[in-house]
C-alpha cells in the first residue's frame, strides 16, 4: 500500500452534504439578491403536490423552506389524489403560460391512474426545474445545456466541491433509474469536448440484474461508487477499494428495535468508512444538496426566461 492510500485510510473524509448545501444556498441567495437589485422580480417556483403521501409532503415542505431562505417565491399547489390526468395537465398548462412563474415541479409519485410520463412532458421544458421532460432528457444525453434532475446534479456538485477526481477514473453506478442513476452515469462518462463540461470517467452501470458477485468485482476496482438503489446494506466494506469515494443516494425508512423509524442508505456506513477515502452519510449527504440544486435550477429558469423575454422585446 503506498503512502497516499495509508493517508486516505487515516483521513477518511465524511462528506458533509448539509454544509455543502448551505454553501450553495448562500451563493444562490447572494446571486438572487443581486438579481433583484438589478430590477428583476424574485424567481418563482410552483410545486404541485397531488394527494396526501406523507413523504411527498415532507419533501415539498423542505423545498418551500429552502425557497424562502434563498429568496425564491414559492407555492405548494395541493390537488386531490382523485384529480384526472387531463385536469392535472390543464393546471400545468396554466402555469406554463403564466409569465410570473419560472419553475414548475410535480412531486412524484403520482396516483396510479395518472401517467407520470405524460405529466412530466406537459411541463414547459424551459420551466422544467426537475429535468424530467423528454426534451431535457435528450439534451442531457447529448451533453447540451439542459435542466438536469436535481439528485443527479447534487451528486455531481458534491463530487466537484469535494475535489474528487473523475478524469479517466473508474466509476460504478448502482441503479439505473431515469431520474437518478442513469443521468448520473450520463454526466460522469461525458466528453469534455461537448457543450457541457465533461467528467471523462469510465462508468459501469449496475442494476438489479447485475449478478452480486459481478457487482463486487466491478466495485472493487472503482475509484468512485455511487449507489442509488434503495437496497439497504448493498455496499459492504469488502467491496470497496481502499481510498475510494463512496456516495450513498439510497434513502430507506427502517424500523429501529425501539419501534421508531430512521433513514438509512445503501451503504454499510460504519464498516465502509474504515476503507473508503471519502463517504457521504445518510441522512445529511446527497439529500440536502438535492434541494439546493432545485434552487439553482429555479434561478437558472428565471435567468433564461428573462433573457428570452429581453430578446423578444428587442
Smallest distance, Å, CB 147 to its own copies? 12
Reference 7, options 242, 281, 287, 270; nearest CA is 242
Chosen residue from 12, 23, 56, 202 binding its own copies by CB under 8 A: 202
Q: Which of 148, 203, 264, 275 binds its own copies (CB under 8 A)?
A: 203
For position 178 contacting its own copies by CB under 8 A, the verdict is: yes
Scanning 37-45, 93-101, 200-208, 261-269 for contacts with its own copies by CB under 8 A, the matching segment is 200-208
> 25 near 293, Cβ under 8 Å?
no
Query: Shortest gap between Cβ of 135 and its own copies (angstroms)?
Result: 6
If binding is defined by CB under 8 A, does position 137 make contact with its own copies? Answer: yes
- The piece of 107-115, 211-219, 256-264, 275-283 that touches its own copies (CB under 8 A) is 211-219
44 or 137, CB closer to its own copies? Answer: 137
Distance CA 307, CA 63 (A): 25
Does 112 bind its own copies (CB under 8 A)? Our answer is: no
For residue 50, which of 75, 83, 79 has the smallest C-alpha distance?
79
Catalytic site positions:
63, 107, 130
Rounded to whole angstroms, the Cα distance separating 214 from 218 reads 6
Out of 10, 167, 253, 310, name the contact with its own copies by CB under 8 A.
167
How many whole angstroms separate alpha carbon 275 and alpha carbon 210?
Answer: 23
CB-wise, 5 or 144, nearer to its own copies? 144
Q: Does 115 bind its own copies (CB under 8 A)?
A: no
239-298 residues near its own copies, rule: CB under 8 A: none
Of 107 and 146, CB closest to its own copies: 146
- Residue 270 and residue 236 in contact, taking contact as beta carbons nearer than 8 Å: no
Beta bridge mates, 44: 73
Give the DSSP letter string of 256-313. Answer: -TTS-EEEE-SB-HHHHTTT-SEE--SSSSHHHHHHHHHHHHHHHHHHHHHHHHHHHH
70 vs 235, which CB is nearer to its own copies?
235
Q: Considering the rule CB under 8 A, would residue 107 count as an interface residue with its own copies? A: no
Contact 265, 227 (CB under 8 A): yes
CB of 285 to its own copies, least distance (A): 25
Q: How many CB atoms sit inside 10 A of residue 61's CB?
A: 13
In order of 164, 201, 204, 222, the CA distances from 169 in angstroms are: 10, 5, 11, 8
As measured in angstroms, the least distance from the Cβ of 224 to its own copies is 14
Can you give the binding site for its own copies, defined by CB under 8 A? 117, 133-144, 167-168, 170, 176, 178, 182, 185-186, 189-191, 200-207, 209-211, 214, 217-218, 221
Amino acid at each position: 500500500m503506498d503512502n497516499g492510500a495509508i493517508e486516505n485510510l487515516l483521513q477518511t473524509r465524511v462528506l458533509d452534504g448539509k454544509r455543502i448545501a448551505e454553501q450553495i444556498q448562500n451563493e444562490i441567495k447572494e446571486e438572487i439578491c443581486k438579481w433583484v437589485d438589478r430590477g428583476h422580480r424574485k424567481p418563482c417556483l410552483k410545486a404541485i403536490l397531488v394527494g396526501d403521501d406523507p413523504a411527498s409532503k415532507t419533501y415539498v415542505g423542505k423545498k418551500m423552506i429552502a425557497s424562502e431562505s434563498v429568496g425564491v417565491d414559492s407555492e405548494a399547489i395541493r390537488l386531490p389524489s382523485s384529480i384526472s390526468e387531463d385536469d392535472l395537465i390543464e393546471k400545468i398548462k396554466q402555469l406554463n403560460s403564466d409569465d410570473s412563474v419560472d419553475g414548475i415541479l410535480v412531486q412524484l409519485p403520482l396516483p396510479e391512474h395518472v401517467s407520470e410520463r405524460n405529466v412530466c412532458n406537459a411541463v414547459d421544458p424551459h420551466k422544467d426545474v426537475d429535468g424530467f421532460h423528454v426534451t431535457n432528457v435528450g439534451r442531457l444525453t447529448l451533453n447540451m445545456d439542459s435542466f438536469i434532475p436535481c439528485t443527479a446534479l447534487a451528486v455531481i456538485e458534491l463530487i466537484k466541491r469535494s475535489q474528487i477526481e473523475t478524469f479517466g477514473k473508474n466509476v460504478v453506478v448502482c441503479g439505473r433509474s431515469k431520474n437518478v442513476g442513469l443521468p448520473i452515469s450520463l454526466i460522469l462518462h461525458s466528453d469534455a469536448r461537448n457543450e457541457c463540461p465533461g467528467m471523462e470517467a469510465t462508468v459501469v452501470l449496475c442494476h438489479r440484474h447485475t449478478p452480486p458477485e459481478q457487482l463486487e468485482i466491478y466495485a472493487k476496482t472503482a475509484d468512485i461508487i455511487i449507489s442509488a438503489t434503495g437496497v439497504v446494506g448493498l455496499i459492504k466494506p469488502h467491496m470497496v477499494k481502499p481510498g475510494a469515494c463512496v456516495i450513498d443516494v439510497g434513502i430507506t425508512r427502517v424500523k429501529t428495535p425501539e419501534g421508531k423509524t430512521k433513514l438509512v442508505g445503501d451503504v454499510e456506513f460504519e464498516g465502509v468508512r474504515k476503507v473508503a477515502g471519502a463517504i457521504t452519510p445518510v441522512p445529511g449527504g446527497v439529500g440536502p444538496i438535492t434541494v439546493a440544486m432545485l434552487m439553482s435550477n429555479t434561478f437558472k429558469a428565471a435567468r433564461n426566461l428573462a433573457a428570452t423575454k429581453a430578446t423578444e422585446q428587442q
